[in-house]
Structure 1
């Protein structure tokens, strides 16, 4: 049966890659965004994330939360959107998959230290990382929502090459065989759609790096 998915904040660069990948696999994709449609989705609804209702999302197998922000004054929307969507989908069979960050990945087996706490973590990225970490905390508290948080590699490349291959991890920061933590938006999109299509990491955080 064809998967029906919704992508929220659909005009962002990661979201457009996810939509493109889903469409290429024959998914029935509906895109939601604040501005005019700039996606490949067959159906587009111009609507802010915080205007969405339970009725808007009830028909989907999965909803992808691609809400992002970079300005300090706007970062709060990342966790606010995750909380809002998790509440809308609470108690339903619809999965919520969130485009996450890498900074909250653990760097030790005891899970007491994260990537963003390391001395070489760029200071300019710390506010964004903290915002994505807050979204993960919101999801962890959402016991009745079928959420999955997908962390990219530390080097998340908008214009990176699509290789079609990736390594799937969990809560811990990982490197590939070349000792790199890198993934393109295009390969991240493949991993996201694979999780919707075949994955069962419900109420879990997963992570991906280029193979």
Structure 2
């Protein structure tokens, strides 16, 4: 397998690169600045400058892009659209590092976690734009996408346990009533998904066991 990780220098991206490299996967880090990951190869290029030719060699592309300043949040939508445009009608899969705020809290899928009364208000703008990005992604039938939401508590410095639970569109907890996962365990699930080739045109979620 040949795997590319967009925004590989970020916390989620670098964790995914490490997991993939440790498993012997051929990984290319796509970064704007100098590569700081363990990837065997790197492509120094802005996400918005990527072309279909740049992405054609890969079996799968992981989109680990993140923007957190309020004025930059719309880039979640524009960057995902650009990647979809470049991967349209391609065999290359697109796996997106998503958010937890768009997970549904009711069986009818009418309410999202971000709309819960106790959802952190400071996280709402980011969750809202990522939810909108997911809705736009659902319309891209010509792209072989999979959207991977983490647990509600996404722990950058959490321990790698080597275990995770694969869930669907709804918010869920483990046997201890927790919705949490470390970046390292999330990376295991993301790489498993890249290797399995399943869940095309689906959103899945990963929580710690």
Give the TM-score range, shorter chain: over 0.9
* Alignment match, 1:33: 31
> Alpha-carbon deviations, 1:87-129, whole Å to 9, x = none?
1111011000000000000001011111000000000000111
Picking from 113, 126, 129, the partner of 1:128 is 126
1:66: which partner in 2? Answer: 64
* Residue in structure 1 matched with residue 199 of structure 2 by the alignment: 201
- Find the aligned partners of 1:129 and 1:199 in 2 and give their Cα distance: 27
What number of residue pairs does the alignment pair up? 209
Equivalent in the alignment of 2:88 = 90
Q: 2:21 aligns with which of 20, 23, 26?
A: 23
Flag structure 1 segments of 5+ consecutive residues without an equivalent: none
Secondary structure of 1:11's aligned partner: coil
> How many Å separate the matches in 1 of 2:46 and 2:81?
15
What's the CA shift string for 1:50-101, capped at 9, x where partnerless? 0000100001000000100110011111111111111111101100000000
Provide runs of 4+ in structure 1 moved above 2 Å.
none
Question: What is the TM-score when the length of structure 2 is the normalising length?
Answer: 0.99
Q: RMSD between aligned alpha carbons? A: 0.7
Residues of 1 paired with 2:3 and 2:136: CA distance? 22
Structure 1 position 198, deviation (Å) = 1.4
| Aligned counterpart, 1:114 | 112
Q: What TM-score, normalized by structure 1, do the two folds share?
A: 0.98
What's the counterpart of residue 180 of structure 1? Answer: 178
Q: 1:199 offset after TM fit, Å?
A: 4.1
1:45: Cα distance to partner? 1.2
Unmatched 5+ stretches in structure 2: none
Residue 140 of structure 1 is matched in structure 2 by 138
Q: Give secondary structure in 2 for the equivalent of 1:7.
A: strand
